[in-house]
Structure 1
Amino acid sequence: MKAVIKAFKILMLFSLFFFSCNRNENRKIEEAAKRLNEFCNVRETKLEVSPKDIFTGFDTLKGIAKQINLCSLDKPGDSIIIRVWFDTGGLQIKQFVLEIGYQNQSYFGAFYEFKTYYPDSSRKKMAKVLSKRDIGTQSQLSQIFNNLIMMDILTLPTMEDLGPGFGGGDGNNYCVEVFSKKHYRYYVYWCPNEFKGRNKFIDQIIMILNYLRKEIKIQDEAC
């Protein structure tokens, strides 16, 4: 993983030199690499999923990921991946997931539109891909990846840890997965706009979601 991080820093710095000489951008990339290094270089393998988040949809999301041909992120691997789920909270309704990552000195990213449904009386939720598209060039992917790290997507707490008064039942869940060789995190925010201005972490996830809506041109039912 150290080699991956080193190659990641070299590629980001090369991209910056080629496309921009802005010193502020250079410092931002160095800081993003530092934060990524802290996330990846844990002594022991870490799986961070709160018990409540498991109860409210972690296993279901893993099943959906498999059905739309996304790899399971809670198992060791050499990639560094960020995955953001825009969950409209309903059946037969369009739902979205963004995946962006870095592996073998190269970025990758894709945006999926899918729907969920129950095909029979078994009540097992199924998923079907409606569309898939790549989300940018290497330089664009590098910028999005860095910006997400600088907006603290690696370390935001899950909503249930913010204390009483946050969360709910019906509505949209926004789920985030972040993954490296030894570290996996999964966290959820329920209808964050309902709590805008009441908590700095909620305001942060709102900023992340709005940034992705603009950059990736996501047209979801913001909640």
Structure 2
Amino acid sequence: MKKYLPVYYLGLKNSLVYRANTVMKLALQLASLLVTILMWRFILAEGESFQQMARYLLVTNLVSLIFTTGPVFQFADMVNTGSLSVYLTRPLSLYWYLFSYNVGLQTPLLVLYLLLLLFLLKSAGSLLLLAVYLLMSSLMFFSLMMALAMLSFWLLNMWPLQSGINAIYLLLGGLYFPLRLLGPAYKYLQYNPFSLVTDFPVRLLTASVNRREFGQNCLAVVAWLLLSLLLEQVLFKKGIKTFEGAGA
């Protein structure tokens, strides 16, 4: 992994160079969160229920910052511009190249997230469980985004899909409301990949989770990870046959 450290540094450097983008992202996320909380303020009024709802929404939106859909459009841009051919000839894994770069981009947000965790975590054991889970889920979510990115071999423009992907993320990830409010439907949605990277980490932070529940969610993450990796490889092998290397 040593050869990917310069790639990580490049991502980190770019995140610091384009600080306005990071600030804008945080501001927009905060504005969206504020609107959502005000909506629930009118629905629930003041009280313990509203406080729990506000805390849930705050933490879910915070967690969502480190799980980005960016790799989808980053890879699509490489296909459309023809620069993908350059990376294919390098002695690097394209998967780990993009993963390292995106971890570098997200590092400032990760640092902010870890600092805020100091005020939310109840014990060092909770921190360890959360760290292990976030590592697994970050690989899973990145692999899922890469599988979606493979569609760029057949679609001329992936950007129209951004609104759809973000909308699914907001709904199935519980960023608008706790998924448990869906009642019986929750048991069918709690293991979707978007819920696994937002809803469950929040419950790790704000509620007691038993070993069985933790193990079930880890198994779900591994299952989605393997499925995403398989789908990505299949689509890549088929899509690369259509890739001509010419920029759009």
What is the TM-score with the length of structure 1 in the denominator?
A: 0.30
Higher RCO (C-alpha under 8 Å, 6+ residues apart): 2
- Work out which of the two has the higher radius of gyration on C-alpha atoms and give 1 or 2: 2
Q: Which has the higher strand share?
A: 1
Q: Which has the higher helix share?
A: 2
